[in-house]
Amino acid sequence: MNHPLIIFIDYIGTFAFAISGAVAAQQRRLDIFGIIVIAFVTACTGGVVRDLCIGALPPVSLSQWPYLVISVLAVLISVAASRWIQKLTYPVLFFDAIGLSFFAIFGAYKTLLFTSNTELAILLGITSAVGGGVIRDVLLNRVPVILHKDIYATAALLGAVLLVLGELANLPLLLTSCVAAGACFVIRMLSLHRNWKLPSFPYHRNPPKN
C-alpha cells in the first residue's frame, strides 16, 4: 500500500467524502462539532467496514492521523467556501460522486492486495464507496442515496470492475485508475443531470376477499 498513487487516491476520496458530509451537515444546521463528526463518519466508515472484512487491523482511517486532519480541513474549507459551494446544482451529490469514484477503485485495489479474490474486491470496492454516504444520510435523517432509484451503487460497481479487470490484465495502475474513476464519476453525474433511473416494478395489492 506504499504506492504513491494509491495513497493519493485514498486521500482525495477521503477529502471529497468529508466535504460532502460537511455540506450535508451544514444544510441541517449542525454546530461545528456535529459537522466534523458527520464529515469524518462520511469519509471513513466505508473504509472501516472494508478493513474489518479483509483483516487489515486496526482500520487505517482510525489508526493514522491524516484521515482526521483531512476531514477537519475539509470542514474548514466547506464552511469558509459555503457560499460558493451552495451555488453548485448538487453540492452534496457532486462531492459524493468524487468520493464514490476514488473509493470504489481504492477499495477494490486494497482488497486485491490482501486477498487476491476478484469477487470480494468488487464487493468491497462498492462497500468502501457507498458505506460512508449511507451512514451520513442515516445520521442526518435522510433516505440513503443508495436506496433511491438513482444510479449510485451501479456506478461504483462499474469503477470497481474496471479496476479489477485492469489489474488482471496487468495494465499500468495510473491508466486503470483514471479510466475506472472517470467512468464511475461520469456515469454518476450523467445519471443526475439526465435523470437516469434504475427500473422499478409496481407493487400490486391483491384485491380484498369478500
**Backbone CA torsion sign across 164, 165, 171, 177:** negative
* 206, part of any domain: no
Closest CA to 85 of 11, 12, 21: 21
Q: What is the pLDDT of residue 92?
A: 82
Query: Could you tell me if residue 134 is inside a domain?
Result: yes
- Predicted confidence at residue 88, as pLDDT, reads 74
Cβ neighbours for 159, distance < 8 A, ≥ 6 positions apart = 100, 101, 104, 105, 108, 125, 129, 180, 181, 183, 184
Q: What is the pLDDT of residue 3?
A: 72
- Show Cβ contacts of residue 107 under 8 Å, excluding neighbours closer than 6 positions: 46, 47, 50, 121, 124, 125, 126, 127, 128, 129, 160
Residue 168 in any domain: the answer is yes
Q: Would you say residue 104 lies in a domain?
A: yes
Can you give the pLDDT at residue 145?
75
Ranges of the chain whose pLDDT falls below 50: none
Contacts of 199 (CB under 8 A, 6+ apart): none
Q: Please classify residue 116 by burial: count the beta carbons closer than 10 Å to its beta carbon, then call 0-12 exposed, 13-18 middle and 19+ buried.
A: exposed
Domain count of the fold of the chain: 1
- Domain span including residue 134: 4-194
Residue 207 lies in a domain: no
Domain-located, residue 202: no
**Cell digits for 103?**
473509493
pLDDT for 82 equals 82
